Amino acid sequence: MQVEINVQLLTQGICMLKGSIKKFMLITIYLLNTQNSVIAEEMIIGEETISNINFVFEAAPKDSVFTDGPITHLAEKNTDIHIEALISWSQNSNIPGQIPGSHLPYLDVQAKVINEKTDEVLVVNLVPHINLSDGYHYARNIQLPGNTDDVFTVHFSIEPDERLLSYHYDWKEAYGMPIINTTEFKYKNLNFLEISKKSRR
């Protein structure tokens, strides 16, 4: 409640300004307020750091996802959870030309979801997404292989996308190739029942 009052008072003060500064600040307040309203509660599956790269794996509430490309997305009504991988340069990285904390593109990210009770398996490629809460990330709508109250293991595999990413001489000499070697993380005893019940709207 206090945050809402502060936002309202701040907006009223900004409205007293004039010109481009007023417009810029009002847009900023709108985006911040909109972002706060669309942030959905997410379940952290795991967080890792290797060298200069941070990994955050999440299960988020189902959502409607759109694309102009050939990849198809499971309809929200047929989805149990939205599984995500946020992969970024670490905040303390000091790599020329790279912004600490920024998204790491051109990766192939795969999630293997295993039902620990029935051994049913779902394998899905997490593809580039963008939204107002996480920015750029890798994700996919999925239907769990079993009941939402079952217990699951999720095995994430990350490797460089060798089809698209090319390297300049300076990068190759300073950091080598590829940017990231094939990396795997496995998390057990995961229950997605509560997150599957949540909604973004």
Averaged over 19-45, what is the pLDDT? 58
SS (H, E, C) 65-112: CCCCCCCCCCCHHHCCEEEEEEEEECCCCCCCCCCCCCECCCEEEEEE
Averaged over 125-144, what is the pLDDT? 96
| Structural domain boundaries, residue 189 | 41-197
Same domain for 78 and 9, yes or no, is: no
Same domain for 12 and 80, yes or no, is: no
% of the chain at pLDDT higher than 70? 80
Residue 127 sits in a domain whose CATH number is 2.60.40.2480
CA distance 31 to 187: 35
Same domain for 112 and 181, yes or no, is: yes
**How many domains does the chain fold into?**
2
User: Residue 11: pLDDT above 80?
Assistant: no
Longest C-alpha distance within the chain, in Å? 64
Same domain for 68 and 25, yes or no, is: no
201 confidence band (pLDDT: 50, 70, 90)? confident
Same domain for 148 and 98, yes or no, is: yes
Confidence at residue 76, expressed as pLDDT on a 0 to 100 scale: 97
Confidence at residue 27, expressed as pLDDT on a 0 to 100 scale: 52
Same domain for 84 and 137, yes or no, is: yes
Find out whether 127 and 71 touch, Cβ atoms under 8 Å: yes
More confident residue, 120 or 164: 120
Confidence at residue 47, expressed as pLDDT on a 0 to 100 scale: 98
User: Residue 9: pLDDT above 60?
Assistant: no
21 confidence band (pLDDT: 50, 70, 90)? low
Same domain for 106 and 157, yes or no, is: yes
pTM, to two decimals: 0.79
Same domain for 49 and 30, yes or no, is: no
